[in-house]
Structure 1
Amino acid sequence: MKQPPGYEDPAHPDHVCHLQRSLYGLKQAPRAWFKRLHDFLLSAGFSASKTDVSLFHYSAHTSRVFLLVYVDDIIMIGNDATLVDSLLQRLSSTFKIRDLGTPSFFLGIETLTVSDGILLSQRRYMEDILHRAGMTDCKPLATPAAITQTVSPTTTLFDNPTQYRRLAGALQYLTITRPDLSYAVNRLCQFMHAPTKEHWGLLKRVLRYVKGTLDYGLRLTKSISYDVHAYSDSDWAGCPNDRKSTSGYAVFLGTNLISWVSRKQRTVARSSTEAEYKGLADVAAEVTWVVSLLRELGLHSGAPATLWCDNLGATYLAANPVFHARTKHVEIDFHFVHDKVASGEFLVNFVSTKDQLADIFTKPLPAIRFATLRDKLNVMPHTPCA
């Protein structure tokens, strides 16, 4: 461990500290802490969610309270202010807590009020990333990835791989409120083991895009519908190095985006239909989890979830078992999409490529197309309400 700032030994400035024990207690300490909190919440009348172990919910007649735990940070929300206050008092009687009131800054995410809802922003975090990279005065760009620049393996390694990994990891946390960065950041993280100068240039381009969109965040508005619908897309053999495809999906609850991902597929797809079908299986697994959580909380509308795919072959494959004879090489676990459709839990519909919102998660796009999809994903600049 390096010498703490302000306590350096002037005679031995290069010496390090020899730790006698762990700085943060025993390895099992986090589990012991969560068990204590878990037991107390159950005794206070909360029910532990089976879908998400960090979520607890409390019901009393028409009053509902939800409590979400992240280590020792807790956020509580409910439709009865009196009930929330009484539960906070019970919590403070056992644990030393500090009530910060209405959430404004939680885990680096700032909650801003806009005219039609709230905006989740990480502006301070973005400014910190730019400061660490020495790019606070860089020239902004309209997109995080160029459509003309492909990533190919080179032998000229970047001379500071630790800095590359640190910044790429920081950008990963930024995708919590910035789904428009998911594809570019996912591509950067594929070269953590041996980043080159070319990869460093790609990372700097992402930072220049961040510089131009500091005011942007994820907007959440009140929705009159609790229907779940999702968009799935894949870029067949998009990686020039291993010819694997990139899948992406966006899951909406009503009008709000609640889950998204951009990732490279594990195996090489032999056709565009196979690549799209694998992407459809990924989003089906995520939607299954979302629906399970909504049912547990009593918020599910009961309507089947709708999956939108822009490949007719994959759409037919999910609904017609005859086509399975042509896909014997596809792993069995991908075929559970058909079972979900047959049971009536999912509806798989075709959507044109023009209206495919998940297109932003699979490939670089021109500036106009990128901005259009970004707006449809509810990534908006902060405009204070009047």
Structure 2
Amino acid sequence: MAVQFDWFLNQLDVSNAFLNGTLSEDVFMKQPLGFEDPIKPAHVCHLQKSLYGLKQASRAWYDKLHSALSSMGFIGSQNDHSLFIKRDHVLVFVLVYVDDILVTGPSSQAFQATITHLSSLFPIKDLGPLHYFLGLEVKRSSTGIFLSQTKYILDLLQKAKMDGAKASATPLSTSKLDHSSPLLFDPIEYRALVGGLQYLTWTRPDLSFAVNLVCQFMHSPRHSHFQAVKRILRYLKGSLDLGLWFPKCAKTLSIHAYSDVDWAGCSIDRRSTGGFCIYLGDSLISWSAKKQPKVARSSTEADYRSLANTSAELTWICKLLVDIGLILPAPPQLWCDNISAISLAKHLVFHARTKHVAIDYHYIREQVISKALSVHFICSQDQIADVCTKSLSKSRFLFLRSKLSLRVPQFNLRGHIKDKIVKDTS
């Protein structure tokens, strides 16, 4: 939205945020060592304000900030409780992650008024235009915003002692993962690396399936699983500069999504892996790779469940856009490569093959009937969400990766991002 309408995008930081929270319940604490009251050494402190380390600290700070923003005319979004919106004469958005705050909108004067008011209530630091936020590197040009985690990847490679490793073209091998190798003697390193890889999926949708796969063996990882993690790290070594590109769209913003599933792809429990990719205009804004909770008896059932999960995400996105004030010109379009699943979503006909499907998965049928969503067929070769459901060959993987809004930026001599962003050709 900031790219599309040329809004400012600034970052704020609150110093010692948790100390500003007011406790609404009785909490007692022993007197700190070295600060005991000599007259009443056996007494305890009755806390009025929150402290770091208290379970109530984060909630107390959120309530304090919520009250402050409400007094300034901001209204909390019902669909994202970290988003606050002000529509008094001018539009201002505040997005909160604990003590890190993003502010955006069409008027820089409204931003100055907002930060002035907040500064009178809390110790606020204005960090200027958004450059680095929660490990995400942000570079902006007149044509879009580029998000990457290059520094985070380098730190992760160094932590794994693989900063000098040979690069790999794909994050996974096309062959099935071996589950018969010996168990790892000490799984701590495996769990730490996989946990680090999870955070990378915020800007690297090409890692969704690979990271989802290695996350399934956190409890009892084997040597083959650790080799798969190393393969992902070697892939990252060869794609350090890849990042998510949000371009300014010349046409009217609309939503289109792709839903796919790998039926019975897991060799252990024969569950299916579903995935989706959702675009707002030309920007990829949401994606997922997740194993389904139940075994599907047919590919139609598996795809139907994946369609239902995708439509739930689409519903949430549409509600969020309504809060923001963006009116879509048409209902979202959902693309699937299974004709039977599409027919099941469109027609009120029950069959013996589908009557066992859980009622909650028929949610998509209600969306189609109410015309809040339209479902269309797409051939498997053009199914972008295929990259989120299975390991692929190099040529297939690179082709689908090029459709995921992932780009390699070009920089001028001053280090600023150029207006032209080239597609990755590695």
2:265 maps to: 238
- The alpha carbon displacement at 1:116 in A equals 3.0
Matches of 2:66 and 2:351, distance apart in 1: 46
Q: Which of 179, 184, 204 pairs up with 1:178?
A: 204
- The alpha carbon displacement at 1:67 in A equals 0.7
CA contact (8 A) 2:181 2:224 kept: no
**Residue 339 of structure 1 pairs with residue 389 of structure 2:** no
Letter in structure 2 aligned against 1:156: P
Aligned positions of 1:43-82 closer than 5 A: 43-61=71-89, 63-82=90-109
**Residue 140 of structure 1 pairs with residue 167 of structure 2:** yes
CA change 1:213–1:147 in 2 (3 A) is same
2:53 maps to: 25
Matches of 1:153 and 1:114, distance apart in 2: 47
Letter in structure 2 aligned against 1:367: K
What CA deviation, in whole Å up to 9, does each residue of 1:177-226 have, x standing for no partner?
Answer: 00000000000000000100000000000000000011000000112322
What CA deviation, in whole Å up to 9, does each residue of 1:253-293 have, x standing for no partner?
Answer: 11111100001000000111111001001101000000011
Matches of 1:80 and 1:347, distance apart in 2: 36
2:422 maps to: none
CA contact (8 A) 2:331 2:371 kept: yes
**Residue 95 of structure 1 pairs with residue 101 of structure 2:** no
What CA deviation, in whole Å up to 9, does each residue of 1:119-167 have, x standing for no partner?
Answer: 101001000100110000000011001112x124325111230110011
Letter in structure 2 aligned against 1:50: Q
Q: Which of 395, 398, 403 pairs up with 1:376?
A: 403
CA contact (8 A) 1:147 1:366 kept: yes
CA RMSD in angstroms comes to 1.6
2:300 maps to: 273
Matches of 1:165 and 1:111, distance apart in 2: 28
What CA deviation, in whole Å up to 9, does each residue of 1:345-379 have, x standing for no partner?
Answer: 00000011111110000001111111111111111
Instruction: State the TM-score, normalized to the length of structure 2.
Output: 0.83
Q: Secondary structure at the match of 2:402?
A: helix
Aligned positions of 1:1-386 closer than 5 A: 24-61=52-89, 63-113=90-140, 116-148=143-175, 150-154=176-180, 156-223=182-249, 224-384=251-411, 385=418
CA contact (8 A) 2:246 2:283 kept: yes
CA change 1:117–1:280 in 2 (3 A) is same
CA change 1:64–1:115 in 2 (3 A) is closer
Matches of 2:149 and 2:311, distance apart in 1: 29
Segment of structure 1 superposing worse, 365-374 or 228-237: 365-374
2:24 maps to: none
CA contact (8 A) 2:153 2:236 kept: yes
2:11 maps to: none
Percent of aligned positions that are identical:
49
Matches of 1:99 and 1:116, distance apart in 2: 25
Letter in structure 2 aligned against 1:217: G
Q: Secondary structure at the match of 1:321?
A: coil
Matches of 2:234 and 2:339, distance apart in 1: 38
- The alpha carbon displacement at 1:302 in A equals 4.5
CA contact (8 A) 2:276 2:310 kept: yes
CA contact (8 A) 2:209 2:289 kept: yes
- The alpha carbon displacement at 1:311 in A equals 0.4
Matches of 1:231 and 1:370, distance apart in 2: 16
Segment of structure 1 superposing worse, 137-146 or 153-162: 153-162
Matches of 1:292 and 1:349, distance apart in 2: 22
- The alpha carbon displacement at 1:115 in A equals 6.7
- Matched residue pairs, number? 365
CA contact (8 A) 1:227 1:300 kept: no
Q: Secondary structure at the match of 2:293?
A: coil
Q: Secondary structure at the match of 1:349?
A: strand
Matches of 1:383 and 1:135, distance apart in 2: 26
1:3 maps to: none
CA contact (8 A) 1:308 1:348 kept: yes
Matches of 2:264 and 2:199, distance apart in 1: 27
CA change 1:292–1:325 in 2 (3 A) is farther
CA change 1:126–1:151 in 2 (3 A) is same
Segment of structure 1 superposing worse, 353-362 or 319-328: 319-328
Gaps of 5+ in 2: 1-31, 34-49, 412-417, 420-426
CA contact (8 A) 2:173 2:391 kept: yes
Matches of 2:157 and 2:362, distance apart in 1: 44
